[in-house]
């Protein structure tokens, strides 16, 4: 007994290359995913470096302010450039050492200054540097009361 023609099994055609094509598509998708991941990691490293510099600048600025707060009688000595009113050589050497540490610890330092408002007793420290990855200028200003 023969099957009707529309129910007869047709000979299988040989399908070649489909697994190869599937593999190539999967590999392309994986490559795009890996590229996106590498780009994200690069941005993350850049931001981490920028944040590290900002934290270093904040710590150094606070350090100079704290030295002036501890020694309020010589607050004028903690200005950069050092005030002509400074009569304390120890305070001057501390500020010089601080300034050299700022130059070493921050990339591309352009300026480190501090000013004392004698009327209010407020000491303002400004640190500016150039970011080493993006080459953008960065600026930090910290202010505190240094009066006795």
More confident call, 14 vs 96: 96
Q: What band does 13 get if pLDDT is binned at 50, 70 and 90?
A: low
**CATH number assigned to the domain covering 53-148:** 3.10.450
Instruction: Tell me which residue has tokens 């150094």.
Output: 60
More confident residue, 120 or 9: 120
Sign of torsion, CA 103 105 109 114? negative
- The closest alpha carbon to 50, from 141, 143, 137, 142, belongs to 137
| Cα angle: 50, vertex 98, 139; to 5 degrees | 35
Domain ranges of the chain: 53-148
pLDDT (mean) for 33-58: 88
């Amino acid at each position: 007994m023969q099957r009707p023609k529309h129910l007869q099994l047709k000979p299988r055609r040989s399908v070649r290359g489909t697994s190869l094509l599937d593999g190539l598509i999967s590999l392309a998708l994986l490559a795009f995913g890996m590229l996106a991941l590498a780009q994200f990691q690069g941005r993350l490293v850049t931001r981490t470096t920028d944040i590290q510099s900002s934290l270093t600048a904040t710590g150094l600025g606070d350090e100079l302010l704290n030295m002036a707060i501890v020694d309020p009688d010589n607050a004028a000595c903690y200005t950069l450039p050092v005030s002509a009113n400074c009569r304390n050589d120890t305070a001057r050497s501390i500020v010089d050492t601080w300034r050299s540490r700022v130059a070493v610890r921050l990339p591309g330092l352009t300026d480190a200054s501090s000013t004392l408002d004698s009327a209010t007793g407020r000491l303002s420290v400004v640190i500016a540097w150039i970011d080493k990855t993006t080459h953008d200028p960065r600026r930090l200003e910290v202010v505190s009361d240094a009066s006795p």
